[in-house]
Amino acid sequence: MKYFLIFSLVIIFTGKTIVSFAQQPNGDFNISKGLLTLSEVRIISDNSTVSATLHKVDDSNDFIFELDSITKVNNSFSHYDPNEGILYIPSITVGDEIYQKIQLEMIVPQTNPLRFRLIASEVDLKNTLKQVQALVETKPVPASGDAADDPAIWIHPLDPAKSIVIGTQKKGGLGIYDLAGKEIQYLADGNMNNVDLRYGFFLNDKKVAIVAASNRSNDSIALYKVNPESRELENIAARTIQVGVSAYGLCMYRSKPSGKYYVFINDKNGTVEQWEVIGTEDGHVDATLVRNFGVKSQVEGCVADDELGHFYLGEERVGIWKFGAEPNSGDEGKLIDTTRNGNLTPEVEGLAIYYINETDGYLIASNQGNDTYTVYNRIGDNEYLGKFQIVANEALNIDNVYDTDGIDVINVPLGESFPYGVFIAQDGENINPEENQNFKMVSWEQIAEALGLKKESSYDPRI
Ligand code: CA
Ligand code: CA
Ligand code: CA
Ligand code: CA
């Protein structure tokens, strides 16, 4: 069975070692771009795996392909064709890249290890863990231990460079930071666990951005508006909005069909409450319970898709559920991906959506257990698109991101560092130097380029 494909193999430059290839029978190797274009690939079955190491042979373009033994090749690896002298391998990991559908041509028979020349392969983008780096980290939170949790980004109406990051400090309050990570305001208003915001809420005939946070000190929904001049939060809750659950995760939803604003708040038993946010005549904001549903075990992270009307909920040890976000959507959820044979690693923590336009974009989940983030399509059945991790940025002395709880992402250009928006993640261990936890900011451009995602966005989250 033969397929004819054009594809590119990105050569990896690891340290000083430059990997190069033998003369390609059907290929075109562009040295300056580091791209190998091959015109013909034989597709082989993916149901075999083999553990092996590929070494470049000094002063030649050949590789030594090391298996445990020749016997193993003959007996347990069905894709070695002695007549052709070609070894077919389903996948090989080199550095952080995974190559699929490898064809290796034997050069010198009867040597051990066998010597092969790579004649074809294909990069497996979806299963390759991509690495990105933070460009900014925020000031550490005031409390030590596991204290920072969930960020939200507010976009300034006139000057996006003046946008702010709101971060929860679950041992005492909310920190407000500018895009350089400097603290603008700190509100010691209670043990705030999660935070989210929505724009365009009419309050006394003026549009305001509403910020909601889950306050674990008194199991309430804390409500603020953003003052665009001072870039500070102002408390606008009409009262202490006590909820019926032990307050934990929280996210907001603005309904397209009704124009109404909602807060979802959940607890460690898996119960979710949906509250409608309502303005009062004296310019405050109140909320009323409109729906109660849930799943069977601990939840926290959630996000609503305002355009498509979905509510995503992370059941930490199970996976990601998709519900309707309207109060009358019912209790039926659909599990879109799981920690069992899926693309998630428990615990599933923060969830966030990158909007490209009204329908296109990405759903991103934090896998706390292995410090990675999984990306899905927003539309349709939420196709899995890839994974990334945030490694240390040594040039800027910003440490890697570990054990992430909450995340947020925004599509709006925020100046030179973040021309296509920013992704923010809580860092569970803020080192170099050792300090309290904080939030790390990664350019969306870098994530999009690493995973082959779109970065141009026409979506305006401010309505
Ligand atoms: Ca944590
Ligand atoms: Ca959690
Ligand atoms: Ca870190
Ligand atoms: Ca640091």
State the 10-residue block means of pLDDT for the chain, 463 residues long.
Answer: 25 25 37 38 38 58 51 38 65 61 67 66 76 97 98 97 97 98 98 98 95 98 98 98 98 98 98 98 97 98 98 98 98 96 94 98 97 97 96 97 98 96 98 97 97 95 91
Q: How far is the CA of 159 from the centre of ligand 2 (A)?
A: 34
Q: How far is the CA of 166 from the centre of ligand 2 (A)?
A: 18
Q: How many other CB atoms sit within 10 Å of the CB of residue 38?
A: 21
Q: How far is the CA of 430 from the centre of ligand 4 (A)?
A: 5
**For residue 113, cis peptide bond before it (omega within 30 degrees of 0):** yes
Query: Based on the number of CB atoms within 10 Å of its own CB, is 47 exposed (0-12), middle (13-18) or buried (19 or more)?
Result: exposed
Determine the Cα–Cα distance for residues 175 and 185; give it in Å rounded to an integer.
6
pLDDT at 41: 34
Q: How far is the CA of 435 from the centre of ligand 4 (A)?
A: 7
Nearest ligand, measured from the Cα of 268: 2
Which two tokens mark 250? 């929280």
Q: How far is the CA of 59 from the centre of ligand 1 (A)?
A: 49
Q: How far is the CA of 431 from the centre of ligand 4 (A)?
A: 5
94-98, long-range: CB < 8 A, 24+ apart: 94/12, 94/19, 94/54, 95/12, 95/14, 96/128, 96/129, 96/130, 96/131, 97/10, 97/12, 97/123, 97/128, 98/123, 98/124, 98/127, 98/128
Q: How far is the CA of 437 from the centre of ligand 1 (A)?
A: 9
Q: How far is the CA of 380 from the centre of ligand 1 (A)?
A: 31
Q: How far is the CA of 228 from the centre of ligand 1 (A)?
A: 30
Nearest ligand, measured from the Cα of 403: 1
Q: From 248, 340, 224, 238, select the one nearest 288 (Cα to Cα).
A: 238
Nearest ligand, measured from the Cα of 429: 3
Q: How far is the CA of 399 from the centre of ligand 4 (A)?
A: 5
Determine the Cα–Cα distance for residues 422 and 409; give it in Å rounded to an integer.
6
- Please report how many Cα atoms fall inside a 13 Å half-sphere around the Cα of residue 408, on the Cβ side: 22
pLDDT at 126: 73
Q: How far is the CA of 363 from the centre of ligand 2 (A)?
A: 18
Determine the Cα–Cα distance for residues 348 and 327; give it in Å rounded to an integer.
25
Q: How far is the CA of 149 from the centre of ligand 1 (A)?
A: 6
Q: How far is the CA of 400 from the centre of ligand 3 (A)?
A: 4
pLDDT at 34: 37
Q: How far is the CA of 443 from the centre of ligand 4 (A)?
A: 17
Q: How far is the CA of 432 from the centre of ligand 3 (A)?
A: 8
Q: How far is the CA of 402 from the centre of ligand 1 (A)?
A: 9
* Residues 6+ away with beta carbon under 8 Å from 9: 35, 36, 37, 38, 99, 121, 122, 123
Nearest ligand, measured from the Cα of 427: 3
Q: How far is the CA of 402 from the centre of ligand 3 (A)?
A: 5
Helix (H, G, I), strand (E, B) or coil at 431: coil
Q: How far is the CA of 173 from the centre of ligand 2 (A)?
A: 18
Q: How far is the CA of 373 from the centre of ligand 1 (A)?
A: 15
Q: How far is the CA of 246 from the centre of ligand 4 (A)?
A: 32
Determine the Cα–Cα distance for residues 423 and 374; give it in Å rounded to an integer.
13
Q: How far is the CA of 441 from the centre of ligand 4 (A)?
A: 12
Q: Which protein residues have a CB closer than 5 Å to ligand 1 (ion)? A: 146, 405, 428
pLDDT at 68: 39
Q: How far is the CA of 354 from the centre of ligand 2 (A)?
A: 21
Q: How far is the CA of 255 from the centre of ligand 4 (A)?
A: 38
Which two tokens mark 62? 């050949």
Tally the residues of the chain: 463
pLDDT at 103: 73
Q: How far is the CA of 426 from the centre of ligand 1 (A)?
A: 8
Q: Which protein residues have a CB closer than 5 Å to ligand 4 (ion)? A: 399, 430
Determine the Cα–Cα distance for residues 123 and 118; give it in Å rounded to an integer.
13
pLDDT at 408: 98
Q: How far is the CA of 405 from the centre of ligand 2 (A)?
A: 6
Q: How far is the CA of 218 from the centre of ligand 2 (A)?
A: 19
